[in-house]
Amino acid sequence: MSTGATRHTRHTQQDRRAWQLPPVGGNPSSTAQGTSHGSFARAPQIGSPIPFGSPDAPGMPAASEQTAWDFMPPDWKRVGDRWAPPAGFVAVTQLEFARLGSVTPQMRRVAEREPHLTPEAVRDEVAAGRMVIPANPDHLRFHLDPMCIGRAGCTKINANMGASPVASGTGEEVEKLHWAERWGADTVMDLSTGGDLDATREAILRASHVPIGTVPIYSMILGRRIEELDERAVLEALEHQARQGVDYFTIHAGLLREHLPLVQRRLIGIVSRGGALLAKWMIGHGRQNLMYELWDEICQIMRRHDVVHSIGDGLRPGGLADATDDAQLSELAVQGELTARAWRHGCQVMTEGPGHVPFDQIEYNMKLQRRLCHGAPFYVLGPLVTDIFPGYDHITSAIGATAAGYHGASMLCYVTPKEHLGLPKKDDVKQGCIAYKIAAHAADVALGIPGTRDRDDELTRARAALNWERHFELSFDPDTARAFHDEDLDVDTDFCAMCGHDWCSVRISREIQDFASGKDVRYAWDGPRVSAPLSDAQRAILEARGVLEQDELDRLAGKTQRAMGAERGAKAACHSDHVDAEIAHRLQDERLDPLTLEPLG
Ligand code: SF4
């Protein structure tokens, strides 16, 4: 397309460059749209210890050279370049199928959902222990749609929910589950500590399309004091939940008795519920963590049902002042040991991480886990990068979560605005999910995962063309985008109320003949039109904001296209092609009747 003159101009510009780009890795756009060079992350290498990863800052730990292949069950034998299980062996877990070279239906489904991966690549990542597929066969009998967690795939988000002793119940939790799925949760953890735990878990498993995780110690201590917890109660609860179809368990087996002195000088001690309960148990009994001592028996149960380990971080920091301390990192080292032991049992494993971490320490935390846990997927809570914004911790943590995803975490556990303050309600679930979809998506684009920027690019084209309908269709939350737009100007035209007609740089760029901006024929629109009446959801959004008076909301919700003179193909009279600059100015300042162009009411 470019002419010789254009080539010459570009060449000259290149000669004049006063900057040098860092190495460019993958391109998150499938077709290299736009003028950006691509991701500054490392070039992707699926099948290596770092499939997608950030460049290492100085002093970062190198990736482990070991994988799950280095921790095979003792009764498997190496035969040539393959591993052979003992006679009569029947594979159960996705890891075992992968070790045998089999591609399962679950692996195929994962590859369908992550088009940059082949089913064989999924199998190889699972075999290396760098990816897990939480899909308990007993859950697959209902509506579960298999997905993966691993750094070769896109970053996933988890939404926590669950009834507490003082709030909510089974019905409300199932409603929250659907709500979390609606807003993009890739997995959901049922953390119920009140009400009928068994019934709530059962209802959530039957209703969910996403994997369900639990922290089984919560049900183990129902009706008994923590000091009364014994081995039998632990194993029975795990077997029961595994049979119900739970896809992954958080078990805080990495917190050891010898770690407890390291916590004494912390500002906020142990903030993990499971960690605090087990610390109390160890002190009360003068014994080692019974989850650690039962690890082999626990692995046998989880292997039988292909429940994925999510090895808990009972000593995660609860404030910036306690981050990356000896307690946290000592537990992480044990999590690595437990990872290797679980792999020897044929179990799939991910490990959990912090918490509250200053922004500058996040990369180290992610890369140390990658080393100590030999590439097992890292599932982190946040982390929050500041402690002084209760009520806004979905934001403080989404900032940390973006960095965590970029530096190696595979799944981000959401934090809602209610964190530290109370049980999240429906809208908190939505706010938490959206904050974390933003964090995960930003990390994926930064890592250069193929195709992850395609929707951004399409939206940019629609935005450049001032095609508002397409702009909103491509947005993650179309109702909010539409409602916010119509709150000021319920006409889709070639500017919006933010800058107004004369200052609309997008409109001006579109009019410059030399620019491609805004001229994609797929996004051409046939003229301005009054937008459709507000939907119930859009009206609710604007009502909650409280900017418009009731009669204005009634008017926006009650109008019809015909009444407003905006049938398909008809131009609304406020378009700047139709009106002079003076009227355009008035449009941006006040709400006008689109028919008469007189101020409303
Ligand atoms: S008026 Fe401003 S915010 Fe609105 S489309 Fe134009 S440039 Fe963008």
E strand segments, 142-272: 149-150, 156-161, 187-190, 212-214, 248-251
| Domain endpoint, select from 394, 429, 447 | 447
Q: Are residues 540 and 471 in the same domain?
A: yes
Residues 311-354: tens digit of each pLDDT: 999 999 999 999 999 999 999 999 999 999 999 999 999 999 99
Percent of the chain whose pLDDT exceeds 70: 90
Residue 45 lies in a domain: no
Residue 23 lies in a domain: no
DSSP class of 234: H
Residue 3 lies in a domain: no
Q: Which residues line ligand 1 (CB under 6 A)?
A: 495-496, 498-499, 504-507
CA 396 to centroid of ligand 1, rounded, Å: 28
Number of domains in the chain: 2
Q: Are residues 263 and 407 in the same domain?
A: yes
Residue 52 lies in a domain: no
CA 533 to centroid of ligand 1, rounded, Å: 22
Q: Are residues 392 and 461 in the same domain?
A: no
Structure tokens of 559? 């109008």
CA 494 to centroid of ligand 1, rounded, Å: 8
For the segment 592-597, the average pLDDT, to the nearest whole number, is 48
Q: Are residues 434 and 467 in the same domain?
A: no
What CATH number should be reported for the domain holding residue 280?
3.20.20.540
CA 463 to centroid of ligand 1, rounded, Å: 9
Residue 198 lies in a domain: yes
* Look-up of token digits 């979809």: 437
φ/ψ (deg, to 5) at 237: -65, -40
| Domain endpoint, select from 414, 429, 447 | 447
Bin 569: left if φ > 0, else alpha if -120 < ψ < 50, else beta.
left
| Domain endpoint, select from 447, 480, 499 | 447
Percent of the chain whose pLDDT exceeds 90: 84
At residue 451 the predicted structure's pLDDT band, cuts being 50, 70 and 90, is: very high
Domain extent for 74: 68-447
Q: Are residues 377 and 523 in the same domain?
A: no
* Interatomic CA distance for residues 474 and 492, integer angstroms: 16
**Three-state DSSP class for residue 283:** helix
Q: Are residues 227 and 274 in the same domain?
A: yes
Nearest to 370 by CA among 4, 51, 102: 51
Residue 16 lies in a domain: no
Q: Are residues 362 and 244 in the same domain?
A: yes
Query: Ligand 1 atom closest to Cα of 507?
Result: 6
Q: Are residues 430 and 483 in the same domain?
A: no
CA 368 to centroid of ligand 1, rounded, Å: 44
At residue 562 the predicted structure's pLDDT band, cuts being 50, 70 and 90, is: very low
Q: Are residues 417 and 524 in the same domain?
A: no
DSSP class of 29: S
Q: Are residues 162 and 306 in the same domain?
A: yes
- Ligand 1 mutation target, pool 460, 475, 499, most atoms within 8 A of CB: 499
CA–CA–CA angle 192, 330, 281 (5° rounding): 45
Query: Ligand 1 atom closest to Cα of 505?
Result: 7
Residue 396 lies in a domain: yes
Q: Are residues 539 and 415 in the same domain?
A: no
Is the pLDDT reported for residue 588 higher than 90?
Answer: no
Q: Are residues 326 and 405 in the same domain?
A: yes
Name the residue type at position 208.
Answer: S
Judge contact between 355 and 322, C-beta under 8 A.
no
Residue 597 lies in a domain: no
Answering whether pTM is above 0.85, one says yes
- The tally of CA atoms less than 13 A away on the side-chain side of residue 116 is 23
* Of 397 and 591, more confident: 397
